[in-house]
Amino acid sequence: MLSLDPLGLYWDCPLGSKDLEEEEGPWGGGSGLPPQGYFPGSWRQDVGLDCRGSPEGAEARAWTVYYYSLLQSCLQQAGLPETQDRSQAPRTGRPGMEVTLCILGSPSTFLSVLLEGGVQSPGNMLLCLSPAWLMKMPAPGQPGEATLLVSKAVSFHPGGLTFLDDFVPPRRVTYFLAGLGPGPGRGWEAAELARNLTCPTGASAELARLLEDRLLTRRLLAQQGGVAVPATLAFTYTPPALLQGGDASPRLRLVELSGKEGQEALVKEEVGAFLHSEALGDAMQVAIKVSSWRWQGRQALRVHPRAEVGTVADTVLVLLEKLEEEESVLVEAVCPPVRLPFPGSPQPGPELAVRICAVVCRTQGDRPLLSKVVCAVGRADHPLRHQSSLPRTLEVALAQCGLGEAAQVAAVRRGVKTAAEAALAAVLALEAGLSAEQRGGRQAYTDFLGVDFMLTVAGGVLTPVALELNLGLCLEACGALERLWAAPRPGPMADEAAAAAPLVETMLRRSARSLMEGKQLLVVGGGGFSKKFVWQAARDYGLKLHLVESDPNHFASQLVQTFIHFDVTEHRRDEDNARLLAELVRARGLQLDGCFSYWDDCLVLTALLCQELGLPCSPPAAMRLAKQKSRTQLHLLCRQGPPWPSPSLHAVPCCPLENEADVERAVHLVPLPGVMKLEFGAGAVGVRLVEDAPQCHEHFSRIARDLQGEADHPGIGLGWGNAMLLMEFIEGTEHDVDLVLFGGRLLAAFVSDNGPTRLPGFTETAACMPTGLAPEQEAQLVQAAFRCCLGCGLLDGVFNVELKLTRAGPRLIEINPRMGGFYLRDWILELYGVDLLLAAAMVACGLQPALPAHPRARGHLVGVMCLVSQHLQVLNSTVSQEALQALHDRGLLRFNLFMSPEEALVSSEYEEPYCSVACAGSSLAEARVRLLGLCQGLGIDGPHYPVAHFLSHFK
């Protein structure tokens, strides 16, 4: 048996946690004093647990002391230092400007989340040991909702450091997660605090009650999630509202009783039919229990042989007398343990049972992700309970039961992953159809779930069967497994992501949305077709955008709060234009929180405008330096340290070119072959490999003739002129590094690899993410990009840095002082759950982006660019835009369109990529093979566009 249920004939004991031991909640499930537990260890007792202005009674104070001691015991057993009391020196912080992740609950339940939060967002993960440390205040302009403030908490930091802090003024909570329990007492107080908050909430009493209804969740899992559940017969007087009118399920039968009198015959008939039905399979016993949040932790479980129809029916009738509305009595199959062949000889000792416990989290795009699996092994004739069994990995647990073959274990893991993620998907689908009142608030959603499984044989295949769902016990079990390798002892799980890692990332993501909702931002330059995603994203995030744009008919003019028609193309007048725009902003009474741009042409003007308006931004001088490619390189060549390594190590010799005389001089100063490019260009337009002096003069003359101004090729920087530069050609692989900087500190970096280009041109052909480089090489690229940005004075913002990795280390191609273009924002959002657009908006508002410290990719993407000159026929027939978009919507590929058909009508010599087509995989090799097959099937691959060659670097 893989279950929490015992196999004894009759168990009649109060059950203290899930299933047999339903979780009573972090506050003990009721009023009264805490358990008289003894926590071994030594720590200071004279700490400031009193909260100013919120005195506690004797009983509440006892609970606060109890949970503080429990926290110290957990930290000590994990090899972490004692909490330091800093409450005598209150933290001031930046009220309303910082992420605050707050947990109210048992330290043992949430320790894995707290420690992970201390790593991903140092000092912003807070544990409240008492409801008195929090207060709700009515939210202005949001009737019925409240802002949650925290006055005192234990803050978590990297290395497991913790501090007892007071906050003056109180910090505004941006994400709240409470341990919830039934009945009066602290569980009730936590539920009240969590209800109808303006900040995102990861649990509520209303949602918890739905998850605690086994009948509801089993039908939900079976019908919507396709998850196997035990055969169940349910009796109720009034079924839950969400079950009324639902379709029947083969393994779930619901019997509605008309009243409490005269039901004996019907109950015995239904029980007899169920116990003799094929739905029970090989089960020899059934369990009888009540399904209701009200019974959480306060019922005895009864198990009887399947043959005892009368006894089972009598037990049901006794329990029916105690039911209230929307409660039910369940009769469910108890499956025997899977008998696995033990290698070599019969398995010694008693028959074993295994419980599989999975934690699954909601990630970017409301997609479920299995984060960790933990198991417990015990005697089959005794109950396996949470908190009373040792956690172990799936591999170890199955090996102890005789299943050690890697392929079979992998198959079980895949089955658990599929079922657990389907379970959360079904819960999220249910919540999407509920009202805010039904969920417990506009911002209340389930962000993680624990799913308990038993393993049975169905059709000759080992199949995980979901017993029930919980919100904390599986998370606690996974945390206990992780702490087996407590510092300073390294172990096999040291490099694995913590079970709580995806949950903390979701907390940060939802916090960022909460902080930015309603912010007023001025966008300078609407951009072209490729930036259409900005306006949809802004609406999703609740941003209030105001746009400055030269084109009075720009498509975004109808999508913003305010449209200011202003010529931003004359860059020689940027200083004057910044002052004029500042006057227009003030005249219109715009109360801006920030100002930013993602459009190359407008970056310097935006920095000047921010300076005029007193809004955060990198200095205009830094933007000018990064905008002009030769100035970037020449400036960094002079930055030779300290500190070391200095940016000069990554700079490349070059010469600016404004006339033919400059070209003649440059060919004697820059080693050839070299690369000629536009000083202010974008999209690799006009970039060319030149072998000798005649080619340099020829290319300079061609650009001077063909690309004279903005009208010749809009959007590539010709508004700044068509000056060029000649730089040394660097051998090596090309890479993009997208950085998020705040206050000169590196918050996040994402490295992608580019494929070989079609020389002598440098238009991008292919890319993969995450990088396939060794960790040391990846770190070299990140640090080189970071040092180059700092060397130019770029301290705040989202920047894209292009480099080549040579045998001597990274060398700089150029810095784009804005968010990466083409597919990069979409890929990073897909793989890492980080939105560079939102990060840029937060920096523009002076807010530190809420990003995980060490984001992990959820897979691999490999993509190829399509060009109109190479793929026009294919794009109009075999693989039309509509067909690619349909495949994208089905999740079969990623399709990013960069320009409209009208924008694509340019000379092939100066064309930019029309679109990107990418495939995902669990490994780089898998994604690469899928993409190559797709390109061959759709006709993207061909003799003149050899996709296999473009993907050759990705191995």
pLDDT-derived band at 91, boundaries 50, 70, 90: very high
Give the pLDDT of residue 59: 87
From residue 199, alpha-carbon distances to 14, 190, 445, 846 in Å are: 37, 15, 11, 20
* Tens digits of residue pLDDT in 562-601: 999 999 888 889 999 999 999 999 999 999 999 999 988 8
Give the pLDDT of residue 376: 84
Q: Is the pLDDT of residue 181 over 70?
A: no
Query: Measured between alpha carbons, how far is 823 from 186 in angstroms, rounded to an integer?
Result: 49
The dihedral over CA atoms of 240, 246, 250, 252, expressed in degrees to the nearest 10, equals 0
Tell me how crowded residue 718 is: count the other CB atoms within 10 A of its CB: 23
* Tens digits of residue pLDDT in 645-656: 999 999 999 999
Query: Measured between alpha carbons, how far is 504 from 371 in angstroms, rounded to an integer?
Result: 12
According to DSSP, the β-strands at 894-897 and 915-921 are antiparallel
Give the pLDDT of residue 12: 36
Comparing 119-128, 153-162, 715-724, the range with the smallest average pLDDT is 715-724
Q: Which amino acid is present at 597? A: S
Quick one: which H or E segment has residue 63? helix 58-77
Instruction: Give the percent of the chain with pLDDT over 70.
Output: 90
Token code pair at residue 417 = 């992953």
Q: Is the pLDDT of residue 10 over 50?
A: no
Comparing 202-216, 386-400, 669-683, 783-797, the range with the smallest average pLDDT is 386-400
* Tens digits of residue pLDDT in 61-89: 999 999 999 999 999 988 899 999 999 99
Token code pair at residue 352 = 């074993």
Q: Is the pLDDT of residue 856 over 60?
A: yes
Mean pLDDT, rounded, of the chain: 87
Give the pLDDT of residue 297: 60
Token code pair at residue 879 = 């693989």
Comparing 19-28, 525-534, 686-695, the range with the smallest average pLDDT is 19-28
DSSP classification of residue 726: E
Average pLDDT over residues 785-806: 97
Give the pLDDT of residue 179: 86
* Tens digits of residue pLDDT in 459-503: 777 889 998 898 888 888 888 888 776 544 444 555 567 889 999
Give the pLDDT of residue 340: 62
Nearest to 769 by CA among 862, 832, 895: 862
Nearest to 731 by CA among 644, 671, 655, 669: 671
Quick one: which H or E segment has residue 287? strand 285-291
Give the pLDDT of residue 65: 92
Q: Is the pLDDT of residue 13 over 50?
A: no
* Tens digits of residue pLDDT in 24-49: 233 334 457 887 767 877 899 889 99
Give the pLDDT of residue 18: 36
Beta-bridged to residue 164, according to DSSP, are: 85, 154
Alpha helices in 401-526 (DSSP H): 406-432, 436-439, 473-482, 501-516
Residue with tokens 């606060």: 64
Give the pLDDT of residue 185: 54
How big is the CA angle at 525 (ends 524 and 526), to the nearest 5 degrees? Answer: 120
Those residues whose C-beta lies under 8 Å from the C-beta of residue 748, and which sit 6 or more positions away, are: 739, 740, 834, 839, 849, 851, 852, 855
* Tens digits of residue pLDDT in 326-361: 889 999 998 777 766 555 555 556 677 788 999 999
Nearest to 402 by CA among 361, 462, 360: 462
* Tens digits of residue pLDDT in 309-323: 999 999 999 999 888
* Tens digits of residue pLDDT in 414-460: 999 999 999 999 999 999 999 999 999 999 999 999 999 988 877 77
